[in-house]
Amino acid sequence: MADSARPWVLHVDLDQFIAAVEVLRRPELAGKPVIVGGRGDPTERAVVSTASYEARAFGVGSGMPLRIAARKVPDAIILPVDAPEYTAASEEVMATLRAQPGAVVQVLGWDEAFVGVTTDDPEGYARGIQRAVLERTSLHCSVGIGDTLVRAKNATDFGKPQGSFRLTSENWLEVMGHRPTTALWGVGGKISRRLAAHDVLTVAQLGSADEAMLASAFGPKMGPWYRQLGRGDGSAVVDDTPWVARGHGRETTFQHDLVARADIEQAARELLAHVLDDVIAEGRAVVGVGLKVRYAPFLTKTLVHKIAATFDRAEVAAEIMKLVDRIEPDRPLRLLGVRAEMAMPDDAREGHTPTRSGW
């Protein structure tokens, strides 16, 4: 029997999106282990962007070094990343979601979005979304149904693949309470280990944890937020305001470790040139810079600092070089990333952005 009409949050997640797009282009790959990552060469340093379900059955997952993935599945088809193709497919999916009756769509990435809708049959609406996406794009999706963003997002995992699942305040503890805190959207391994140090191991324990303890351990904002996450509570508002990037970044994994300071500085300048080209298109000042470094074999550190708002390329480059100076000398560098944070549009209205010059 249908419910009374009420607001719902649906989380739409495309199943094995990147691999599925590749199979659409190459139908002969259907049912085979497909891995997408880097330039498609497992002898190079790169990581898996996605893997088909057939490859996942062998333990291959996103973020895994491509060479290890190839070792796990010797007969896998390994393909290079084709971002323009995935962007085009994603745009078709999002247009389909926006065309659904009464839908408010908040895009989260290439392969997922929240859909806000008022309906008396959320499961029926979810099936309608799945049919529409499949008809227009030939892609399958799973749908999480919830009364908050958090519950809808977590519900999707129980609907995969090609199904739907409802997770609300009524069944949250029954479904999620016994699960480890890493099952929650927004809790990774590092946070989970810190919670475990305070004897918080499960979702239910997090939801009932002492708020003062969490605030002391994680800060006055994040501590209570983690407790709220454990309850599945939070906003139920799907916001379709166009996303505005806070910054732009580029990174590269070197096929051979860099050690010489001159080589590292040159790599940073080349990355920064691309980043600043991206920033120019935004028309907003740079207000912060960051450097991501990964030392061999796999220790990653991030260096950041704020700067006075500027449009001057030389000033931004000088600030990046200050961060480069903090890289440990004579230590082999596997990866380098450069990021520029930009003033947000609200800052410009408040008069915080300087007159453009120097680009």
**Of the candidates 167, 160, 114, the residue with the CA atom closest to the CA atom of residue 140:** 160
Nearest partner of 149 among 167, 122, 132, judged by Cα? 167
Q: How buried is 24 (Cβ within 10 angstroms: 0-12 exposed, 13-18 middle, 19+ buried)?
A: middle
16: left (phi over 0), alpha (psi -120 to 50) or beta: left
Tokens read off for 258? 């860099």
Residue at 91: amino acid letter: E
**Cβ-contact 164, 27 below 8 angstroms:** no
Cβ neighbours for 140, distance < 8 A, ≥ 6 positions apart: 14, 15, 20, 130, 133, 134, 161, 162
- How many C-beta atoms lie closer than 10 Å to residue 267's C-beta? 17
Per-residue burial over 58-85, b if 16 or more Cβ lie within 10 Å, else e, is eebeeebbbeebbebbeebbbbebeeee
Q: What are the structure tokens assigned to 192, written together?
A: 């989970």
- Contact residues for 32 (Cβ-Cβ < 8 A; gap 6+): 52, 54, 76, 77
d(CA 139, CA 154) in angstroms, rounded, equals 21
Residues assigned a catalytic role: 112
Pick from 238, 189, 183: which is nearest to 207 by CA?
183
